[in-house]
């Protein structure tokens, strides 16, 4: 092969490498203080007789830390389909690569030198990533108050044979689209994906780079893998640790090929996935994890790329050092949802309320406060009340009781202690602050009363989540009681523990139907999912506040340290978006360990309460007269249960006219 090519200066941005329309090779990449750096081209076909071509870039092309070059005259340039970069003796994959070769099989340990970037060829129109037909695709931008978020792991969601998805599509983006009818039946509007950008999920336990392990020292111990505390996890020859969740540094511009049914066409498969989701009215939110050493420019560039190239609807950013100010002020994201743990709202909005709420705060306070109230902790009623009503004019509050880390909802009421032994870290990984209660027995049991109590507690938790203001988020499988066997940190479990077990749907059909009932109730009544905070006052002079709080006695909430009861009265007279006002809705939680007698708030004349849901049906107590002589309607609500009442109009009795002829009365004096 001739090396008769020329290298000339090229503008430094945008970063990346590709074959341009004039068949010249454009190279733009960041190299630090290296003496020798450049690019190595590899033939597209493995059986090709073409040898790799190594091209060193002269230092004269360096501006700052960026080498930018246009290389002309490379013979058979179209025959090259992959490349890597080199810096002195180090070979690495371009962080700006749009597709990666070598990571197509999940769990396969691939040397870094065998991970290569796809070389885009703009001169070949058929293979250009610009040829996908979006056919007028647009983002849905569902308002936060109308949203139900469904968080899932792409592989774990459908990988189990119990998912009913075809074997070739299990654990892929395409497999998710097979579940669209199911997602729609739940009322889901937004699907959030755990990290789905390209990465090598195999943790290199022998370089000492992973904080969970270190390399053994000594000739006799080289086959042993040690955990963080020095204990032996397993032998090198028989164990590979996977980062199943994917919260690690990766290739942020490339969709994950291992999540594709056709890894050779990952770009178009992910585009088809997003387009199909949009056609069914579903948003796609991408999680991105960036460590504290990641370059802020790369973060911005990656988010721009996914927004423009893949039409995703938003991002959930994870990491301790994120350029939030730049991201929230990026004009491209003026119609994009951005989620994080917390924003400096004063700096972002500068005192102005945005026309559209785009920022979303992942509200872990709801998790802690609802779990404490659910398990009947003292000093929890006030915090629970605030979490149930938290809302904002300028940003969304995303509520959840269970996230990817921590117990599943079914495990939250089954285990008091984590059971992470299978992770290989002597059960020392994962949080110990689970705020869980096993309902009397740790783990699995056949006792009917324990199982009934657990089912009731799951329903109670669902009621809290789906009747709170803000935007509810549920993790995949929690809606039908999927379990991880008490493992609260299955980050490395690419198996039945980490996958959704769809068989639980049949076993726990009652729980699933209850979640669907709550979803229909929430989105069937605007008063339960408002876009603005409640004022808790009667500002339309109707006799009722928009939202009021109650305890054992109406209008008298008890927020003392020993209180475990709270009622929420939503007044539908304040909802004016429909032709008629919405209904009154009363939601009462009794998280005490004994049944309690409660009084229901009085409704306007012509209305009465209709009990539409009870997680544990109680007993009706006859009407009683209080000290004032007025009738007080009370009910006995069971221990650890939740009720939902809705107002209905009282049917007036039908009066049948009496057509019998009547004798005319005399106006004179009555005869003795």
Least confident range of 226-230, 451-455, 523-527: 226-230
Same fold for the domain at 6-131 and the one at 534-649?
yes
Query: What percent of the chain lies above the pLDDT cut of 70?
Result: 87
Identify whether the C-beta of residue 221 lies closer than 8 Å to the C-beta of residue 180. Answer: no
Instruction: Decide if pLDDT at 2 tops 50.
Output: no
Identify whether the C-beta of residue 401 lies closer than 8 Å to the C-beta of residue 465. Answer: yes
Start-to-end CA span in the chain (Å): 137
What are phi and psi for residue 242, nearest 5 degrees? -110, 140
d(CA 602, CA 632): 9
Query: What percent of the chain lies above the pLDDT cut of 90?
Result: 76
Query: Quick one: pLDDT at residue 408?
Result: 97
Confidence band for 656, pLDDT divided at 50, 70 and 90: low
Query: Quick one: pLDDT at residue 569?
Result: 97
What is the average per-residue pLDDT within 133-146?
90
Q: What is the pLDDT of residues 517-535, one digit of tens each?
A: 999 999 999 999 999 999 9
Q: Which of 480, 603, 471, 467 is nearest to 525 (CA)?
A: 467
What is the average per-residue pLDDT within 404-430?
95
Identify whether the C-beta of residue 398 lies closer than 8 Å to the C-beta of residue 348. Answer: no
In sequence order, what are the residues at sequence separation of 6 or more whose Cβ sits closer than 8 angstroms to the Cβ of residue 270?
Answer: 173, 255, 260, 310
Q: What is the pLDDT of residues 474-506, one digit of tens each?
A: 999 999 999 999 999 999 999 999 999 999 999
What is the average per-residue pLDDT within 302-325?
95
Beta bridge partners, 53, equal 41
Question: How is residue 15 annotated by DSSP?
Answer: -
What is the average per-residue pLDDT within 416-421?
96
Instruction: Decide if pLDDT at 453 tops 80.
Output: yes
Q: Which helix (H) or strand (E) holds 185?
A: helix 180-186
232-258: b (≥16 Cβ within 10 Å) or e: ebbeeeeebbbbbbbbeebbbbbbbbb
Tokens 């409640």 correspond to 534
CATH topology for 144-201+254-404+456-526 is TIM Barrel (3.20.20)
Q: What is the pLDDT of residues 593-641, one digit of tens each?
A: 999 999 999 999 999 999 999 999 765 554 454 554 444 567 899 999 9
Query: Quick one: pLDDT at residue 493?
Result: 95
d(CA 657, CA 653): 13
Query: Quick one: pLDDT at residue 625?
Result: 47
What is the average per-residue pLDDT within 246-271?
95
- CA angle centred on 471, ends 470 and 475, rounded to 5°: 140
What is the average per-residue pLDDT within 382-400?
96
Query: Quick one: pLDDT at residue 284?
Result: 98
> Tokens in use for 182?
């199911």
Which is higher by pLDDT, 89 or 193?
A: 193
Q: What is the pLDDT of residues 498-520, one digit of tens each?
A: 999 999 999 999 999 999 999 99
How far from 449 is each of 441, 446, 456, CA to CA, in Å? 11, 9, 11
Confidence band for 168, pLDDT divided at 50, 70 and 90: very high
Instruction: Decide if pLDDT at 213 tops 60.
Output: no
Query: Quick one: pLDDT at residue 619?
Result: 54
- CA angle centred on 32, ends 31 and 33, rounded to 5°: 125
How far from 123 is each of 13, 78, 129, CA to CA, in Å? 20, 9, 11
What is the average per-residue pLDDT within 5-31?
93
Helices (H), 194-295: 266-279
> Tokens in use for 32?
């630090």
- Tell me the HSE value of 197 on the side-chain side, using a 13 A CA sphere: 26
Query: Quick one: pLDDT at residue 393?
Result: 93
Per DSSP bridges, beta strands 314-318 and 283-289 are parallel
Confidence band for 162, pLDDT divided at 50, 70 and 90: very high
Q: Where are the domains of the chain?
A: 6-131, 144-201+254-404+456-526, 203-241, 534-649
Q: Which helix (H) or strand (E) holds 363?
A: strand 359-363
Highest mean pLDDT among 43-57, 197-211, 353-367 belongs to 353-367
Domain range 534-649, CATH architecture:
Sandwich (2.60)
Q: Which of 315, 312, 329 is nearest to 287 (CA)?
A: 315
3-state secondary structure of 227: strand
Q: What is the pLDDT of residues 282-309, one digit of tens each?
A: 999 999 999 999 999 999 999 999 999 9
Q: Could you write out the three-class secondary structure of 613-664?
A: EECCCCEECCCEECCCCCEECEEEECCCEEEEEEEEECCCCCCCCCCCCCCC
d(CA 349, CA 331): 14
**Strand extents, DSSP E, 236-282:** 251-255
Tokens 């040829």 correspond to 131
CATH number of the 6-131 domain:
2.60.40.10
Average per-residue pLDDT in the chain? 88
Q: Which helix (H) or strand (E) holds 233?
A: strand 232-235
Which is higher by pLDDT, 355 or 150?
A: 150
Instruction: Decide if pLDDT at 346 tops 70.
Output: yes
Q: Which of 399, 402, 398, 426 is nearest to 415 (CA)?
A: 402
How far from 349 is each of 329, 353, 393, CA to CA, in Å? 10, 7, 11
d(CA 410, CA 445): 13
What are phi and psi for residue 176, nearest 5 degrees? -65, -40
Identify whether the C-beta of residue 199 lies closer than 8 Å to the C-beta of residue 103. Answer: yes
């Amino acid at each position: 092969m001739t090396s008769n090519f020329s290298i000339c200066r090229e503008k430094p941005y945008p970063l990346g490498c590709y074959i341009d329309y004039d068949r010249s090779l454009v190279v733009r990449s960041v190299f630090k203080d290296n003496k020798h750096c450049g690019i190595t081209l590899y033939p597209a076909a493995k059986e090709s007789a073409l040898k790799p071509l190594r091209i060193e870039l002269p230092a004269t092309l360096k501006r700052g830390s960026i080498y930018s070059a246009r290389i002309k005259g490379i013979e058979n340039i179209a025959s090259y389909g992959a490349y890597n970069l080199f810096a002195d003796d180090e070979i690495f994959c371009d962080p700006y690569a749009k597709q990666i070769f070598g990571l197509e099989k999940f769990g396969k340990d691939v040397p870094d030198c065998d991970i290569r970037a796809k070389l885009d060829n703009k001169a070949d129109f058929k293979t250009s990533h610009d040829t996908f037909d979006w056919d007028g695709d647009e983002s849905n931008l569902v308002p936060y108050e109308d949203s139900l978020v469904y968080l899932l792991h792409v592989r774990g969601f459908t990988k189990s044979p119990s998912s009913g998805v075809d074997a070739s599509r299990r654990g892929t983006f395409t497999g998710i689209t097979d579940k669209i009818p199911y997602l729609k039946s739940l009322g889901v509007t937004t699907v959030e994906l755990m990290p789905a950008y390209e990465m090598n999920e195999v943790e290199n336990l022998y370089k000492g780079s992973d904080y969970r392990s270190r390399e053994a020292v000594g000739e006799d111990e080289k086959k042993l893998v040690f955990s963080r505390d020095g204990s032996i996890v397993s032998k090198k020859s028989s164990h590979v640790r996977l980062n199943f969740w994917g919260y690690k540094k990766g290739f942020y511009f490339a969709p994950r090929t291992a999540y594709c049914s056709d890894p050779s066409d990952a770009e178009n498969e992910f585009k088809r996935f997003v387009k199909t989701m949009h056609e069914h009215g579903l948003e796609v939110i991408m999680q991105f994890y960036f460590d504290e050493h990641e370059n802020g420019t790369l973060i911005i560039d990656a988010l721009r790329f996914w927004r423009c190239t893949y039409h995703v609807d938003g991002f959930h950013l994870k990491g301790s050092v994120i350029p939030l100010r730049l991201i929230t002020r990026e004009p491209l994201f003026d119609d994009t949802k951005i989620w994080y743990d917390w924003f400096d709202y004063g700096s972002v909005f500068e005192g102005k309320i945005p026309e559209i709420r785009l920022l979303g705060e992942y509200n872990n306070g709801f998790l802690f406060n609802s779990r404490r109230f659910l398990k009947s902790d003292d000093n929890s009623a006030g915090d629970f009340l605030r979490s149930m009503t938290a809302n904002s004019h300028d940003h969304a509050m995303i509520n959840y009781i269970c996230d990817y880390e921590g117990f599943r909802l079914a495990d939250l009421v089954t285990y008091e202690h984590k059971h992470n032994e299978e992770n290989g870290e002597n059960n020392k990984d994962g949080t110990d602050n689970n705020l869980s209660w096993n309902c009397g027995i740790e783990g699995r049991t056949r006792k009917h009363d324990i199982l009934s109590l657990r089912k009731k507690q799951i329903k109670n938790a669902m009621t809290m989540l789906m009747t709170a203001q803000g935007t509810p988020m549920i993790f995949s499988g929690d809606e039908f009681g999927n379990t991880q066997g008490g493992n609260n940190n299955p980050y490395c479990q690419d198996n039945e523990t980490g996958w959704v077990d769809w068989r639980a749907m049949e076993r726990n059909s009652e729980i699933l139907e209850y979640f669907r009932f709550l979803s229909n109730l929430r989105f069937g009544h605007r008063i339960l999912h408002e876009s603005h905070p409640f004022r808790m006052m009667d500002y339309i002079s109707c006799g009722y506040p928009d939202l009021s709080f109650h305890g054992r006695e109406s209008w008298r909430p008890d927020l003392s340290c020993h209180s475990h009861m709270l009622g929420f009265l939503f007044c539908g007279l304040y909802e004016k978006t429909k032709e008629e006002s919405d209904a009154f809705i009363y939601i009462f939680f009794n998280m005490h360990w004994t049944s309690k007698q409660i009084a229901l708030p009085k409704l306007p004349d012509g209305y009465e309460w209709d009990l539409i849901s009870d997680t544990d049906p109680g007993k009706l107590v006859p009407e009683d007269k209080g000290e004032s002589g007025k009738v007080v309607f009370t009910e006995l609500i069971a221990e650890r249960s939740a009720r939902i009442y809705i107002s209905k109009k009282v049917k007036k009795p039908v009066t049948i006219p009496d057509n019998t002829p009547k004798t005319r009365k005399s106006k004179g004096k009555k005869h003795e």
